[in-house]
Amino acid sequence: DTAVSQTPKYLVTQMGNDKSIKCEQNLGHDTMYWYKQDSKKFLKIMFSYNNKELIINETVPNRFSPKSPDKAHLNLHINSLELGDSAVYFCASSQEATGYYGYTFGSGTRLTVV
């Protein structure tokens, strides 16, 4: 009964391919996020959805497109993958948009672009 689950755990793909990462939370939270952890281990917000609506879209290439079919799911689709997209992508959720009650993270998806 994992609270925030991401699939796949590992993803190796060639440059130029399109790939998707899926995230699901069973906590009943309203808000979900995608974070990117780069090679220097720094975690940075990419997107935030509250009740299926986009509320944060940081400076991310438009090759990255999040989709939230319902408030329990937030998927990340990446077009035309580049070497620099190699990173660990974390999904997270919070009870509401301010995060006042804390955040829960998934175990991450390690994306390697070759």
Partner 1 sequence: KQEVTQIPAALSVPEGENLVLNCSFTDSAIYNLQWFRQDPGKGLTSLLLIQSSQREQTSGRLNASLDKSSGRSTLYIAASQPGDSATYLCAVSSGYALNFGKGTSLLVTP
Nearer to partner 1, 33 or 85 (CB): 33
User: Interface residues for partner 1 in 29-88 (CB under 8 A)?
Assistant: 33, 35, 40-45, 48, 55-56
**Which of residues 76, 92, 111, 113 is near partner 1 by CB under 8 A?**
92
DSSP the chain: --SEEEE-SEEEE-TT--EEEEEEE-S--SEEEEEEE-TT--EEEEEEEETTEEEEE-S--TTEEEEEEETTEEEEEE-S--GGG-EEEEEEEESSTT-TT-EEE---EEEEE-
Nearer to partner 1, 3 or 15 (CB): 3
Does position 98 interact with partner 1 (CB under 8 A)? The reply is yes
**Residue ranges binding partner 1 (CB under 8 A):** 33, 35, 40-45, 48, 55-56, 90, 92, 97-108, 110
